[in-house]
């Protein structure tokens, strides 16, 4: 599993032209506060029951608020056979600070 910072995530999402999936594992209330356009939302606790919604053949970047929950989900997905997986270290908080200041911090 790779660890990517906000700059690396932004570059990869731009360069991949839709190939990489940004998976947001935060709770719905967190998405109401701040979100990244185009991210797929599956709350952390729902990932095991909804894993079939994800393509194990596609690059996947997992994000949360700071990177702890997403790291756990990325590790779990790796164990389920996902091979191209990255944790977004810093999460939406880093995205707000470094990439898009219009996204609120919480």
Q: So what's the pLDDT on residue 19? A: 86
> What are the φ/ψ torsions at residue 72 (nearest 5 degrees)?
-60, -45
52: exposed, middle or buried (Cβ count in 10 Å: 0-12, 13-18, 19+): exposed
Total-model pTM: 0.95
Q: Which of 6, 22, 23, 64 is catalytic?
A: 64
- The secondary structure of 29-68, three-state, reads HHHHHCCCCCCEECCHHHHHHHHHHCCCCCCEEEECCCCH
> Mean pLDDT of all residues in the chain?
95
Total Cβ atoms within 10 A of residue 5: 14
Per-run averaged pLDDT (10 residues), the chain, 106 residues: 96 84 97 95 98 94 98 97 96 97 96
Active site residue 33: no
Largest distance between two CA atoms of the chain: 36
């Amino acid at each position: 599993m790779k660890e990517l910072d906000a700059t690396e995530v932004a570059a990869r999402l731009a360069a991949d032209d839709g190939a990489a999936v940004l998976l947001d594992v935060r709770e719905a209330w967190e998405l109401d506060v701040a979100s990244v356009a185009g991210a797929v939302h599956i709350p952390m606790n729902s990932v095991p029951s909804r894993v079939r919604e994800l393509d194990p053949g596609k690059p996947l970047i997992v994000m949360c608020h700071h990177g702890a929950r997403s790291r756990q989900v990325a590790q779990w997905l790796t164990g389920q056979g996902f091979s191209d997986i990255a944790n977004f270290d810093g999460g939406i908080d880093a995205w707000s600070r470094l990439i898009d200041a219009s996204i609120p911090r919480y």
